[in-house]
Amino acid sequence: MTIHTISHIEYHCADAAQSAADLVTGFGFAPDARQPDRRPGVHAVHLHQGAIRLRLSSADAADHPVARFVEQHGDGVAVIALGCADPEASLERAVRHGGRVLDRDGGLVAGFGDVALRFVADVPAPAEAPRPEALLDLLDHAAICVPAGELAAAVRFCEAALGFHRIFGERVEIGAQAMDSSVVQSASGAVTFTLIEPDTDRQPGQIDAFLDAHQGPGVQHLAFRTHDIAAALRRFRADGVEFLTTPSAYYDGLAERLGGTAIPVPVLRELDVLVDQDHGGQLFQIFTRSVHSRRTFFLELIERQGAGTFGTANIKALYEAVERQNATASL
């Protein structure tokens, strides 16, 4: 019943061809013609890079489930496919612990609002020639926003229904806003969800805004792990991807906070990369500027040099960067 990996992400969108082209041009993904998709009424494009597999779908008719998802939520992650040793047993476990079956033949159960979970066989990806230009390696984690008061239940579902365990939790207060989060992970360590809820006793913030614009729970961002964040950033920026900026003052205190950094501070400052460390080492991360029409989805790049945590000290810097983006967008 063990869940081993994230097999693939199913992303529903208004125009699969255009969304795929943006990922190919901006992030170096490659089309995967070996993954046919013959669902009637759906245009699907399969992309891959490293161990990351994406399935982008758009519908021909407005009454198709893919189109209805996009109508309610905008473009976004609709299904997280989990690679399992025994998909049927994993589905039955989820059902025993409250999972609602959406499509038994397709191994699909309700997960977080309209974000479903699909249980699939954990089979190795077909052998392919390595691409030296590929800079993204795997899906590090998915960040999922849930309504206030539902975080504990979401964690219990992941523990009981999926066999995950909670590895981290924190409360973040930024000015008059606050949020709580928990990180849950599969026993394999290869599947990680960061679950986030707003504190509605404080002023509304970005998580509240996400839930309002997305009309319910959903995936706020996907984090792609890279083995060379500096090289990835330089290439992706040159190809037109925009990333959030970081105030220069952030870098002035790094030496005092962390000591030495594996990537020199001048490079981090040049590229707006955030850095944190734990007992295992350091991590480097940056977030894309959201181009989503509702500002409800973005991507993260993360390089881990031994660190196993999630940049706790960087969350405030991320929130401040998003606030600056939102303020600019509203002008």
Positive or negative, the Cα torsion across 299, 161, 120, 137?
Answer: positive
pLDDT of residue 1: 56
Determine what percent of the chain is predicted with pLDDT higher than 70: 89
pLDDT of residue 167: 93
- Interacting residues of 178 by C-beta distance below 8 A, sequence separation 6+: 171, 172, 198, 199, 201, 202, 205
Residue 182 has pLDDT above 90, yes or no: yes
CATH number for 136-329 (one of 2.130.10.10, 3.40.50.720, 1.10.260.40, 3.10.180.10): it is: 3.10.180.10
Query: Per residue in 121-159, pLDDT tens?
Result: 997 666 566 676 899 999 999 999 999 999 999 999 999
> Sorting pLDDT into bands at 50, 70 and 90, what band is 177?
confident
Asked if 182 and 197 count as a contact pair (C-beta separation under 8 A), the reply is no
Residue 148 to residues 26, 152, 176, 313: CA-CA distances in angstroms? 35, 10, 16, 23
pLDDT of residue 326: 67
Place domain 3-121 in its CATH homologous superfamily.
Answer: 2,3-Dihydroxybiphenyl 1,2-Dioxygenase, domain 1 (3.10.180.10)
CATH 3.10.180.10 region(s) of the chain?
3-121, 136-329
Q: Which residues pair with 296 in a beta bridge?
A: none
In this prediction the pTM is 0.92
